[in-house]
Amino acid sequence: MTPASDRTAYSYELPRNLIAQEPPPEREAARLLLLQRTTREIAHRRIRELAQLLEPGDLLVLNDTKVLAARVELRRESGGRISGILLEVPRDDEFTMMLEGRGRLAEGDRLRFGDEGVLWLRQALGQGHWRVACNLGPELLASGRMPLPPYIKRSRGRDARDAADRERYQTVFAEHPGAVAAPTAGLHFSPRLLGELEERQVETARITLHVGPGTFQPVREQDLSRHLMHAESFRVPAATVEAIERTRGRGGRVIAVGTTVVRTLEAAAAGGELRAGSGETTLFIRPPFRFRIVDGLLTNFHLPESTLLILVCAFAGRQAVLNAYAQAVAERYRFFSYGDAMLIL
């Protein structure tokens, strides 16, 4: 096993007080660490400066998935609590959920939520996933909370932050419902910033990748070659393929907004040529990896030993990225979903 394939080679020390619990006061107010891939130079900027850091003719590719209000608090008939996350938009009275709680669950069990909601466990699918039936169906989404990652702490009862999370844990360009986690690099964009990019003649295009719950699952295998990625569904529109071709033709750069965009574009180009269409990907991007489409990356800071951090290291070099993370810690950047960002050019 080489150092690049050793999970522990992607670890770093992070004080817990640097994990952002709230979003910045404005979307474009976050700090931005700028890393040059070739020289490994680092500069400290702000997201609101993004238009000036890019060149006319560059292309930003955005993930327009929409996060479901997917977290539902359930109760056993005995009174014990179960946390549920919807894994798809309920279109009828039967759908898939991920359930977590103490004690064993069995097919046929009933779970309750609110005053009138009842779930029946129809079929165990493995890894805490269940096919369930419900007497309310799509109305679950009206009663759910945003599925914030576990490192963002919220009380079980609703409070004033619930409404704020519904707005801020969603990109302003979210369009297609289906994600259970936000593409967090996109959270920094406001209508004002998008307007500045347009004035700068920086083009934008979109893909859709519905982020699944596996994005928060730790890598347990020491040897990364043994790790299996969760499948996520994606769509690459023909207009995005055309935009990338135009960008290449004029000598511009294709810059992915988030690791989800990188996975989507590189998975869609796995055959050697980027193709429009829909599908599922289990692509695990790790060193060494040949990037066919992406020239730059805007991304948040990621958990140690996570597949997301490993992807960033494959793109910019493990030591360069870990050195940048050490500087971010020293400069007290805010980390993870509601935190600051990094631009690699």
pLDDT (tens digit per residue) in 81-103: 999 999 888 877 889 999 988 88
Q: Which of 255, 217, 214, 218 is nearest to 233 (CA)?
A: 214
Give the model's pLDDT for residue 132.
Answer: 94
Q: For 21, how many CA atoms within 13 A lie in the half-sphere containing its CB?
A: 6
| Strand positions, DSSP E, 249-289 | 254-257, 277-281
The rounded distance, in Å, linking the Cα atoms of 244 and 296 is 13
- Classify domain 3-67+168-344 by CATH number: 3.40.1780.10
**78 has a pLDDT exceeding 80:** yes
The mean pLDDT value of the chain amounts to 93
Q: Read off the pLDDT of residues 35-54 as tens digits, 9 standing for 90 and up.
A: 999 999 999 999 999 999 99
Q: Which bin fits 265, alpha (ψ -120 to 50), beta or left (φ > 0)?
A: alpha
What sign does the dihedral 56-61-62-64 (CA atoms) show? Answer: positive
**280 has a pLDDT exceeding 90:** yes
CA dihedral 182, 183, 187, 191 (to 10 degrees): -110
Q: Which of 342, 339, 338 is nearest to 146 (CA)?
A: 338
Note whether 211 and 182 are within 8 A (CB).
yes
Note whether 286 and 2 are within 8 A (CB).
no
The rounded distance, in Å, linking the Cα atoms of 245 and 276 is 12
Side by side, the strands of the sheet bearing 277-281 are: 42-46, 31-35, 341-344, 296-300, 254-257, 59-63, 203-209, 232-236, 277-281
β-strand pairing of 42-46 with 31-35? antiparallel
The rounded distance, in Å, linking the Cα atoms of 82 and 68 is 19
Rounded mean pLDDT, 261-278: 96
Give the model's pLDDT for residue 109.
Answer: 94
Q: Read off the pLDDT of residues 218-237 as tens digits, 9 standing for 90 and up.
A: 899 999 999 999 889 999 99
Q: Read off the pLDDT of residues 241-250 as tens digits, 9 standing for 90 and up.
A: 999 999 999 9
Note whether 49 and 29 are within 8 A (CB).
no
Give the model's pLDDT for residue 140.
Answer: 76
Give the model's pLDDT for residue 142.
Answer: 76
Q: Which of 24, 6, 1, 7 is nearest to 305 (CA)?
A: 7
**238 has a pLDDT exceeding 80:** yes
Q: Which bin fits 37, alpha (ψ -120 to 50), beta or left (φ > 0)?
A: alpha
Q: In the beta sheet, which residues pair with residue 59?
A: 203, 254
Whole-structure pTM value: 0.94
| Radius of gyration, CA atoms only, the chain | 20
- What's the chain's length in residues? 345
User: Can you give the residue ranges of every domain in the chain?
Assistant: 3-67+168-344, 71-144
339: which residues sit within 8 A by CB, 6+ positions away?
18, 19, 20, 30, 300, 301, 333
Q: In the beta sheet, which residues pair with residue 300?
A: 341
Q: Read off the pLDDT of residues 129-156 as tens digits, 9 standing for 90 and up.
A: 999 998 877 777 777 899 999 899 887 6
Q: Which of 103, 98, 146, 154 is nearest to 121 (CA)?
A: 98
Give the model's pLDDT for residue 157.
Answer: 61
- % of the chain residues with pLDDT over 90: 79
